[in-house]
Homo-oligomer: A and B are copies of this chain.
Amino acid sequence: MTEPSATENGIEVYLQPIGRRILIPPGQNLLDAAREAGVELMSLCGGEGLCDSCHIRVVEGELSPITQAERNFFSETELQDGHRLACQAIPLNNVKIDVPSQSLTTPQRLQLEGIEAEVDLNPPVIGVDVHVTPPTLEDLRSDATRLEDAIQEVDSLPMIGHRTLRVLPHILRENEWSLRAVLRESEVVGFLPSETKLYGLAVDVGTTKLAAYLVDIAQGETVAKIGDMNPQIAYGEDVVSRIAYVNKHADGGHTLQSKLIEVLNGMMGDLCSQAGVTQDQILEVVVVGNTVMHHLFAGFPVRQLGESPYVPVLTEPVEIQAAYLDLKVAPGAYVYLPPNIAGYVGADHVAMLISTRVWETDQTTLAVDIGTNTEITLATGGRLLSCSCASGPAFEGAHIRDGMRAAPGAIERVQFLNGEAHLQTIGNIPPVGICGSGILDAVAGMLTEGLLDQRGVLQGDDPRFLKVDDKGAFILSPAAQNGHDRDILVTRSDVNEIQLAKGAIRTGIDILLMEGGIPLDSVDRLIIAGAFGTYIDIESAINVSMFPDLPRDRFEQVGNAAGAGARDLLISTTLRQKAEEIARKVEYVELTTHPEFTRSYMERLYFNQ
């Protein structure tokens, strides 16, 4: 985490969650500053403080005093919590600002699509329509007993959870003693008017992004999907800084949990309006995430995940009542969290293995989920070997001088044609910064063009080279062309960050293959999942030797495979059993203590196959 401090060149404004750092002159307000950097904030009143559309929150650093305009829109508690209007607030020193997605004119790109394989439909909840005999002074059975009796006539004797019982008297009388009881094994988890459709919610909680899918649980069809940013970003960019936040703040775990739940409830509300469904119709939830996200969501402690030997509280699957987590779904619904494999190979990787069906293939397969931590599984000859590589946040645009997340204006593709860099940005607008796939392309291109050597050192004296802080840099987008009065650069440090990231991933692949006794060219499939993995150019990834130089048709980019796995686990209890089998079966390979790790990593920092 960068601590804010004054710099000579001006005041640094770090815009979260899009991950853009900008330098502004003293006295400039945040609305203007963001706009000049190409980050378009909403501003319905034109920056007059007459509306709250440019609502932001200061996370670190000092802003100018609160104005009356801001007092009109925010409560005392909100003001204390750092809520401000961008048009009113002027940074007094380096600041970190949280920009909620509603305040952005164009949202960040979120990866929602993923493969949808055939699923053996076998949902955990089913609806049973019954008619119940109303009570009389001669038949004084309780509401619960008479319902249980009615269900027993068509199914086995159920148990009714006490949260569910709370709505029973009303719904029985409102619907003239006919209703649909929702059974989850032998437990009644919900009541609805007869023949009401049942839905489930699948959620992928990424460290950065959230994806949620509303699924018709009887049909197995996704009826709506939505993405949003993980609001925990305001408390730490990566899992390590979130653990640090929780360790430092007594109620930190609860804060991170409730911020996340609040956003998930909002997403659920949107999904329900999209599909014309009520939240009471959501009877089951599946949440996947890495082990830290999993623990924070469930309210488990995370301190021990930040300390060697990084053990999770538990690896078994968890079922929690949704109401206990304040998720606004049917009051008796459960949340299923798939098993974790280890402290740094979480339920999201299990979900990815489920959706890619890696476990049922005879082919030797590498499944790679690239993120701040990259999880890799090698499936070969009935074995599953998994590891986690600390690939770092470079591919999320962090730790890169002009890096940013995959939001509008991000350079996402770089091609060198006749020695000249051709850029493509998200939204086809003038470039604002570089996102993960862009920086990978840029570095790969610079290698091919001979602008970089294998150690990552700038070669020759290309006119596009300049010095920044005494180190070399390459002008990717000159100020004159991008209209922002500021060159967009690829620095020597940026190249080093990519070396660290790709080196970690490649070392993971090497060691897994070594442990599996598999020669490189015996890999039949290399599956790449995750948002970054979807957008990268395979050629570039091979160029920088992040991936082995296999025939290109062996690579598959599968999108949000964790989200797809969450959907699979929502509609199939058979796959839940499979997930538990997988988690038990996986041989976890700890890289950091592996005898080959250091040697391999040192070698893989260089750009050579």
Contacts and interface: CB of A to CB of B under 8 A. Distances in A.
Contacts of A340: 142
Interface string A253-294: 000000000000000000000000000000000000000000
A68 interface: no
A315 interface: yes
A349 to B, nearest CB: 15
Interface in A315-349: 315-316, 318, 320, 323-324, 340, 342-343
Interface stretch (A108-116, A163-171, A235-243, A495-503): A163-171
Interface in A473-518: none
B309 A135 contact: yes
A160 to B, nearest CB: 7
Contacts of A593: 137
A314 interface: yes
A6 to B, nearest CB: 39
A578 interface: no
A309 B136 contact: yes
Chain B CB within 10 Å, residue with most, of A162, A310, A323, A340: A162
Contacts of A301: 166-170
A191 B143 CA distance: 37
A299 B300 CA distance: 27
A160 B166 CA distance: 26
A357 interface: no
A35 interface: no
B166 A308 contact: no
A304 B135 CA distance: 11
A311 B162 contact: no
Chain B CB within 10 Å, residue with most, of A135, A142, A166: A142
A93 B87 CA distance: 53
B314 A160 contact: yes
A399 interface: no
Given A143-B304, A145-B314, A314-B143, A309 B137 contact: yes
A308 B539 CA distance: 76
Interface string A137-152: 1001111110000000
Contacts of A60: none
A312 B166 contact: no
B311 A165 contact: no
Contact of A162 (B135, B144, B298, B315): B298
Contacts of A313: 142-144, 165-166, 168-169
Nearest to A291: B142
B320 A162 contact: yes
* A: contact size bracket: 35 or more
B588 A140 contact: yes
A303 interface: yes
A20 B309 CA distance: 66
A166 B300 contact: yes
Contacts of A166: 299-301, 313
A36 interface: no
Contacts of A136: 309
Contacts of A62: none
A145 B340 CA distance: 12
A580 interface: no
A173 interface: yes
Nearest to A593: B137
Nearest to A139: B309
Contact of A314 (B137, B165, B170, B300): B165
A316 B173 CA distance: 21
Nearest to A172: B304
B588 A162 contact: no
A141 B145 CA distance: 44
A449 interface: no
A32 interface: no
B309 A144 contact: no
A162 B318 contact: yes
Contacts of A298: 162
> What 9 pairs across the A-B complex have the smallest Cβ distances?
A144-B314, A142-B315, A135-B311, A169-B304, A142-B312, A137-B309, A169-B301, A142-B314, A137-B593
Interface of A: 135-137, 140-145, 160, 162-163, 165-170, 173, 298-301, 303-304, 308-316, 318, 320, 323-324, 340, 342-343, 588, 590, 592-593
